[in-house]
Amino acid sequence: MTQAPVLVVSATAPESAHVPSRFEVIHTGIGKVDAAIAVTEALCRYPAGARPTVVNIGTAGALHGHHTGLYVPSEVLNHDLSAEVLRSLGYPAQERISLPDGDGSVLATGDVFVSDPVLRDELARRADLVDMEGFAVAAACARLGAPCRLVKHVSDRADESAMDWPTQIDASARVLGAWLADHY
């Protein structure tokens, strides 16, 4: 039996630098809009009943001091959407997506590069990790009927240390590439 195809999605090329060559990889750019567009375009190249499993790999900021290493979130939330306000005005707003086969962690996604400890602490009440693309990737997959997994490696503490993110990417990319090689 052959395994379903896997499409690896990463925001930047450095985050996917160590993905094994057998995988198709797309780079979305940074942020929710670019991620949603790129994943939608990529998935539309496949027939509706034969879409690949999308595995979004990337770095994430830890919202709690004890979080290190690699995570496969069970839930992702859109942290900078005013969902409660929109719902009170009568408009449905999805702010959370559950993901199968996760490790119980929660990823918060937003277009804000979190380097402020005050924002980090506010997000920590709702999530374990923070990134800038995960929710958009999961939402595009859900809309188009493609299985999705998010796999994130902690690169910083979502505080001043986040400004050192560029020098941490390669270490995270090595862990993410090894995870893909072991799981697909």
Q: Report phi then psi at 128, rounded to 5.
A: -100, -35
**Residue 182 in domain:** no
Please tell me the predicted confidence (pLDDT) of residue 60.
Answer: 97
**Residue 160 in domain:** yes
Q: Model confidence over 51-101: pLDDT tens digits?
A: 999 999 999 999 999 999 999 999 999 999 998 899 999 999 999 999 999
Query: 162: pLDDT confidence band, cut at 50, 70 and 90?
Result: confident
| CA separation for the pair 156, 135 (Å, rounded) | 19
**Residue 179 in domain:** no
* The pLDDT of residue 1 is above 70: no
Please tell me the predicted confidence (pLDDT) of residue 39.
Answer: 98
| Owner of token pair 């985050």 | 15
Q: Report phi then psi at 97, rounded to 5.
A: -130, 130
State how many domains the chain has: 1
Write the CATH number for 97. Answer: 3.40.50.1580
**Residue 183 in domain:** no
| Owner of token pair 């941490």 | 168
Q: Tokens in use for 182?
A: 């072991």
The burial of 4, by beta-carbon neighbours within 10 Å (0-12 exposed, 13-18 middle, 19 or more buried), is given as exposed
**Residue 41 in domain:** yes
Q: Report phi then psi at 115, rounded to 5.
A: -135, 10
* The pLDDT of residue 124 is above 60: yes
* The pLDDT of residue 3 is above 80: no
| CA separation for the pair 62, 52 (Å, rounded) | 29
Please tell me the predicted confidence (pLDDT) of residue 18.
Answer: 98
Contact 158, 114 (CB under 8 A): yes
Query: 161: pLDDT confidence band, cut at 50, 70 and 90?
Result: confident
Q: Model confidence over 22-57: pLDDT tens digits?
A: 999 999 999 999 999 999 999 999 998 899 999 999
Tell me how far CA of residue 94 lies from CA of 27, 41, 78, 91, 183, in angstroms.
25, 21, 8, 10, 30
* The pLDDT of residue 2 is above 50: no
| CA separation for the pair 68, 89 (Å, rounded) | 39
Please tell me the predicted confidence (pLDDT) of residue 14.
Answer: 97
Full residue range of the structural domain in which residue 37 is found: 6-174
**Residue 40 in domain:** yes
Please tell me the predicted confidence (pLDDT) of residue 4.
Answer: 76
**Residue 89 in domain:** yes
